[in-house]
Structure 1
């Protein structure tokens, strides 16, 4: 006879079924933007990845979500030789093989579908990322390194590295790291202390890299200051480094330690000491922060797509659980208040998907040589806006998704806390929200980018022709137009006023385009499917508020005093 514990109630956990078949938002988006022949060509690979994401990849990723499977640093061999070998889980290697074989990077460079190749590639990445145990991070840097090397056109490095970085063969495929962060600098990369000394045609790098993701990579792009160069970012140069030589020995570098992180625990992140590391100069021996921009273009886009996919995963699990969980005399999914929560999650997901993939579209057009000058301008401004907007949405969405499970969402071996732990890095990696907001300000000083961006909002809004979708589109245009006015007014008020409102400006621009794109998608769904679900999503998103701007400088003195913990005058006192 069983005990009470063995025979009592056990909650059925949430399950994934098929991440492609059940992602209506991704399906309808691709249907809207892809030509029919391209759509037909790419769907089989997406369907295969969607199945893997719900089955094998998810199983392996969950298996890695425990301390015994986290990366370990073996500093020395049995005879006392320093080896600095980072040992990773066999599941990590299985996940890597799937990524390479299915072309999660390669698809973007094979260009089988011309300007739409990036859309195909990032749709694969979107399906892959939530079940990848963060292998999406080394893939992002691999993609960024391939693009950066191609942009700079160093023939020997391109011929050696790019075929490996874009290979589908796990036996020959390389991954890349990105070594930028140092103790002195952090987000202020221009304070880098790593020194580069010329040695014939090559260079030797000496310094410490404080935060290096994917330390098991085969190569990396990094920044260092050539001897004699001046301070700041302009004094830095970009270098190509291979981590080990042909004999497997480290390239005059030491792995000081692996970082103990809040999230992304499955991925090895290390602190490195470069002790005369052999390197190749990429580009000119100065302006390194500008030269590494192609890398950041790609990695920030991966960040945004990963944010959208994380929101989708939280929604998928919460929705499935709501159908299985009985409470208050009914299934959670039938409780009106819980329905409102799931609806909110859906809105955040679809808004982030539309914005991230619009940036993907423009990158693909730019690389295919068919982007207009206006589209190139939009892309420059859209990348930081997309990354910061979706990063914030991902964290808020992951928090709500966990709460939808009650106490189970707080229990580590349900694998649900991983959603929030891993989401929290998305507003931090590749530039924090404030750093990117300042990047938006810098971009606005370069030509007529803001006007081009507002035209982009107008282009998307023009597709919304029904009364319901046009109302959302009008709100999007109002917010974008107000942003233009605000920039002029803030510039008159001074640089401090611009910086004080930079985050609200960037979020307003992001949300205005999200609303316009949601309206365009809603119009498509009405016209093609007679389905009003996307209309409801667009309306709910717009109702949350698109325009976050205040009068330039408003509350700046208050914020300064509150930040410094200084006294403020009594309101209304004479």
Structure 2
């Protein structure tokens, strides 16, 4: 049998195409096509809802259609940040090399003035939740760090150091259209999350300081300003400083402010974000806040806001995963039926959607409490405040911690489930954003305190306040709106666990108690999220 050229064209031809799925995915508007996001905003934005809703119609189009492709291209392995230590004339410049797409995305995102006093808080919140759906994209962590830097400067103004007011203006309102980027460099090689173990030295220089030593995890290595923790010479307590990356007139010359970037780390996620190792050789630093209170300031303000933002990011990650998994489940046909028509698959899709909606509702409710309490950031629970206010501040503190550990943990499960809906295509980096966002959320789970550290902190926090805030009252207040049966069950569990050796010496009993504490925190916070979701109905 002779095979003609015409036969060759017909034989083996596969006409299958993903074009229908791709067209629908690219035409989605991440705000307009998300009822739960609109419903939550309507509940919490109040009288400003219509104004914010109309603004988001335009903003969401930019995120969904223009910024998303930039984020995808910037995530290519060959586009990862790198270091150029010297220029052609042997000048040490330590330039952080990033792709054009990241620069463009950064300029537009920060140019939106998300932290300006002119922007309503709920508008900024909703816009950030949309931006987080891009994944890290080289902008999510910089946004988060900038929020903390601004809050620190607002909490501790210092007229003796006018540079701090200029830094606040530059990051919050912008200077001549340029919005500065903040960072926070606290971790050292010997301590990790153990900030009291910092050994970076701050040497007095008039009203300023000079920094000497090393910081080992410095995300947003390209930032304009950074919050840095260090010990003042001759003291054993950590203080807080703001360090400009360049002194006046030196940025264009690429002459850094008395420090070197040794290298950029190779991370499993948030790969577009340059995380470096810094060596300080006399960098000029401006003190912020009371000397010797750096750990409390960092934990009470900077880390609290970072943890709060991670919860918002997780909601964004899950909303995107739910949307794209559902879209693919409606498109893909296997063994003669749509993926969505198989009970096991639809169960997975519903699980993803439920988690996304619950997490989003919880993030909105916690942020509402944050705004309601009006600047609740502090280095502890003030003992001079009325008892009811102290309880509310304590509730918020613990909810931020619970959200951070629970939303990141469940978020990784949600992303993994969403990837499974795509089957083999789910692990293809060019097929969807889900593998990239999965890695991002795993990294976010470790930043600002890993799970076990924060579980310990929550346990000790609750133990510490039992003399003025009984554990049963804490449960009842946090789960207000739940059934009495639910409240009683969690109150009984918490009361029992506080008598167990959760943080005691290692033994069979303490490990069993620790396991039960982990499970309790997860189920307790999901109960809170469930209430928040029911309140949207």
* Secondary structure in structure 2 of the residue aligned to 1:204: strand
The one of 48, 56, 60 equivalent to 1:50 is: 60
* Secondary structure in structure 2 of the residue aligned to 1:481: helix
* Secondary structure in structure 1 of the residue aligned to 2:333: coil
Alignment of 1:500-511 (within 5 A): 501=513, 504-505=516-517, 508-511=520-523
* Structure 1: distance between partners of 2:227 and 2:73: 31
1:41 is displaced (CA, Å) by 2.0
* Structure 1: distance between partners of 2:156 and 2:51: 32
The one of 353, 356, 361 equivalent to 1:349 is: 356
* Structure 1: distance between partners of 2:12 and 2:302: 54
The farther-off stretch of 24-33 and 484-493 is 484-493
The one of 240, 243, 253 equivalent to 2:242 is: 240
Residue 199 of structure 1 aligns with which residue?
A: 205
* Structure 2: distance between partners of 1:46 and 1:100: 16
* Structure 2: distance between partners of 1:195 and 1:368: 31
Alignment of 1:160-179 (within 5 A): 160-167=166-173, 171-179=177-185
The one of 119, 143, 165 equivalent to 1:139 is: 143
Q: Would you say the 8 A contact 2:476–2:487 is kept in 1?
A: no
* Secondary structure in structure 2 of the residue aligned to 1:183: coil
1:516 is displaced (CA, Å) by 4.2
The answer to whether structure 1 residue 442 and structure 2 residue 460 are counterparts is yes
Distance 1:216 1:394, change over 3 A: same
Q: Would you say the 8 A contact 1:352–1:393 is kept in 2?
A: no
* Structure 2: distance between partners of 1:124 and 1:492: 40
Deviations 1:116-168 (A, max 9, x none): x2x43222111111226141110000001111111122243542121211136
Residue 557 of structure 1 aligns with which residue?
A: none
Distance 1:498 1:301, change over 3 A: farther
Q: Would you say the 8 A contact 1:351–1:515 is kept in 2?
A: no
The farther-off stretch of 494-503 and 243-252 is 494-503
* Structure 2: distance between partners of 1:507 and 1:218: 41
Distance 1:259 1:493, change over 3 A: closer
* Structure 2: distance between partners of 1:428 and 1:110: 34
The answer to whether structure 1 residue 30 and structure 2 residue 34 are counterparts is no
The answer to whether structure 1 residue 149 and structure 2 residue 156 are counterparts is no
The answer to whether structure 1 residue 69 and structure 2 residue 72 are counterparts is no
Distance 1:78 1:493, change over 3 A: closer
* Structure 1: distance between partners of 2:485 and 2:408: 23
Residue 418 of structure 1 aligns with which residue?
A: 436
1:273 is displaced (CA, Å) by 0.7
Deviations 1:74-98 (A, max 9, x none): 1110111111001212211222233
* Structure 2: distance between partners of 1:272 and 1:488: 41
Residue 391 of structure 1 aligns with which residue?
A: 408
Distance 1:167 1:423, change over 3 A: same
Alignment of 1:468-507 (within 5 A): 473-474=483-484, 476-490=486-500, 501=513, 504-505=516-517
* Structure 2: distance between partners of 1:47 and 1:169: 27
Residue 324 of structure 1 aligns with which residue?
A: 331
* Structure 2: distance between partners of 1:204 and 1:122: 36
1:475 is displaced (CA, Å) by 5.9
Q: Would you say the 8 A contact 1:437–1:502 is kept in 2?
A: no
Distance 1:98 1:33, change over 3 A: same
Q: Would you say the 8 A contact 2:502–2:517 is kept in 1?
A: no
* Structure 2: distance between partners of 1:407 and 1:228: 59
Residue 457 of structure 1 aligns with which residue?
A: 478
Structure 1, unmatched stretches of 5+, are 462-472, 526-574
TM-score, scaled to structure 1 = 0.81
1:325 is displaced (CA, Å) by 0.9
- What is the RMSD of the two structures over their aligned residues, measured on CA atoms? 2.6
* Structure 2: distance between partners of 1:121 and 1:506: 33
Deviations 1:15-41 (A, max 9, x none): 250111222222222233332x22112
* Structure 2: distance between partners of 1:122 and 1:346: 21
Number of residue equivalences: 502
* Secondary structure in structure 1 of the residue aligned to 2:337: coil
Residue 280 of structure 1 aligns with which residue?
A: 286
The one of 85, 94, 98 equivalent to 1:88 is: 98
* Structure 2: distance between partners of 1:498 and 1:364: 38
Deviations 1:178-214 (A, max 9, x none): 1011110112222222111111111111111111111
Q: Would you say the 8 A contact 1:49–1:128 is kept in 2?
A: no
Distance 1:173 1:124, change over 3 A: same
1:243 is displaced (CA, Å) by 0.8
Structure 2, unmatched stretches of 5+, are 1-5, 377-385
* Structure 1: distance between partners of 2:337 and 2:153: 57
Distance 1:501 1:453, change over 3 A: same
Alignment of 1:89-128 (within 5 A): 89-106=99-116, 109-110=117-118, 112=120, 117=121, 119-128=122-131
1:299 is displaced (CA, Å) by 0.5
The farther-off stretch of 61-70 and 390-399 is 61-70
Residue 342 of structure 2 aligns with which residue?
A: 335
1:452 is displaced (CA, Å) by 5.5
Distance 1:520 1:216, change over 3 A: closer
* Secondary structure in structure 2 of the residue aligned to 1:278: strand
* Structure 2: distance between partners of 1:265 and 1:524: 36
